[in-house]
Amino acid sequence: MTPLWIDTHAHLDAPEFAAAEVAALRSEARGRGVARCVIPAVARSNWDTVRELAHRLGDAYALGIHPMGVPAADEADLDALDEALRAHRDDPRLVAVGEIGLDFFVPELTEPAMRERQIRFYRAQLRLARRHGLPVILHVRRSADALLKGLRELPVDGGIGHAFNGSLAQAQAFTERGFALGFGGASTFDTARQIRRLAGELPLETLVLETDAPDIPPQWLYATAAERAAGRPQGVNHPRELPRIGAVIAGLRGVPVDELAQATSANARRVLPRLAALA
């Protein structure tokens, strides 16, 4: 029997996926055992798109303002998010507020004024998650401590630390607050020693799987800078890659693939409780 997986982070509305082809691509992933995808929003402009996609594809979605979308966002977008969460509060496919968080890696987002603006939008969206009783999906890039500070001051109903790449102490701090940690394509690179160590050694109940499609391609899709210069295009990640990514992580942990699929899917349903009603 094919193991059943949950891809907790797939941007199926991204331009890399042609709108006319996304249903067939999603069907291919389902044929490989990817029973459910969570489609996170990144800006007000795609809230309706991810909601429509989730309903059309039989998946789930989250609404939020991504930190990389903060420079173009304004206060009206936060008010609109509050209204959208209220309008769709009874939609079982709305499973979280996300993708929200902080990005202290992208240079233009690290200027002091923009860091403060990111923090303000992050905290505002934590308040909305609290108001609407939803978990959050967090963008964590060189920002774990600042995210944790916000969670200590504005606790929410758990969620997922997406594409986690922090320390063991930071991982434990998130999981103590009811979060699972997302692992995906980066775990397939031999050089990603810290990520692979965490994926292999953290308690199994703290892990969920994700692709971040079309981003963070696994090693077998990745084109190096030299390869790209020679004309090889960068590989596009896709939910169909999740079972193979899962097999790599199962190998790191020394457990059967079926066991990892079952556990990580159960973890996803625990930290995003509305997923359980869709199973």
CA distance 245 to 219: 10
99 labeled part of a ligand binding site = yes
139 labeled part of a ligand binding site = yes
Asked if 33 and 268 count as a contact pair (C-beta separation under 8 A), the reply is no
Handedness of CA 259, 240, 174, 82 (dihedral sign): negative
HSE-CB at 267 with a 13 A cutoff on CA atoms is 27
What are residue 182's DSSP bridge partners? 208
9 labeled part of a ligand binding site = yes
CA distance 96 to 99: 9
Name which of 124, 38, 17 is nearest 73 in CA terms. Answer: 124
55 labeled part of a ligand binding site = no
Sheet holding 136-141, edge to edge: 5-7, 34-40, 60-63, 94-103, 136-141, 159-162, 179-183, 207-209
Strands 159-162 and 34-40: unpaired
Name which of 56, 113, 9 is nearest 121 in CA terms. Answer: 113
Q: Where are the alpha helices (DSSP H) in 154-273?
A: 168-176, 193-201, 225-229, 242-253, 257-271
Q: How far is CA 48 from the centre of its chain?
A: 18
Binding-site residues from annotation: 9, 11, 99, 139, 162, 212
Binding-site residues from annotation for a divalent metal cation: 9, 11, 99, 139, 162, 212
